[in-house]
Amino acid sequence: MRITQATLEHLDLLTPLFVKYREFYGALPFPDSSRAFLEKRLRRKESVIYLALADKRLLGFCQLYPSFSSLSLKRVWILNDIYVAEDARRQLVADNLMRTAKKMAKDTHAVRLRVSTSSDNDVAQKTYESIGFREDTEFKNYVLPINED
């Protein structure tokens, strides 16, 4: 397995797995819109996407978005999306993707790497903790849904 940063040339390979990731969380597939979304992120350099590959087969991916901390005056990376193909699970794909994300965060002098998952996704939580993520006990996070009126 090798981990590589995605480019526009990877869109056809990445899109089907990205669609499966969205479906996992209950979103409708929308393959054309999903591809366009990924293309925009890559073209505009608004995210960093890492791919786990075996030969030319995509095993998994993670997508990170940049942010900043006003308190520490440093960069923060948000590990927003991570997904491993069903037949590639239990092969340390997620671990390798997260280790690569952690290295990139260190290399860019980030103060932290953030991730969230469903409160019932025990497998993901255990995986994050095994890499060194800790549950945030200092801040409680809230969301404000927009356009749900």
- Cα 125 to Cα 37: distance, rounded to the nearest angstrom: 27
User: Residue 59 in contact with residue 84, Cβ under 8 Å?
Assistant: yes
- Cα 34 to Cα 70: distance, rounded to the nearest angstrom: 32
For residues 145 and 3, which has the higher predicted lDDT (pLDDT)?
3
Task: Give the start-to-end residue ranges of the domains of the chain.
Answer: 2-131
Rounded mean pLDDT of the chain?
Answer: 93
Q: How far is CA 147 from CA 7, 37, 118, in A?
A: 32, 19, 22
Which fold does the domain 2-131 belong to in CATH?
Answer: Aminopeptidase (3.40.630)
Tokens describing residue 44: 């505009």
What is the three-class DSSP state of 110?
coil
- Cα 120 to Cα 146: distance, rounded to the nearest angstrom: 24
Residue range 48-81, pLDDT digits in tens: 999 999 988 999 999 999 999 999 999 999 999 9
Residue range 94-105, pLDDT digits in tens: 999 999 999 999
- Cα 18 to Cα 123: distance, rounded to the nearest angstrom: 19
pLDDT band of residue 148 (cuts 50, 70, 90) is low
Q: What is the pLDDT of residue 149?
A: 57
- Cα 138 to Cα 149: distance, rounded to the nearest angstrom: 31
Q: Is the pLDDT of residue 115 over 80?
A: yes
What is the three-class DSSP state of 77?
strand
- Cα 77 to Cα 107: distance, rounded to the nearest angstrom: 12
Segment 26-34 shows an average pLDDT of 94
pTM: 0.91
Q: What is the pLDDT of residue 145?
A: 85
Q: What is the pLDDT of residue 54?
A: 95
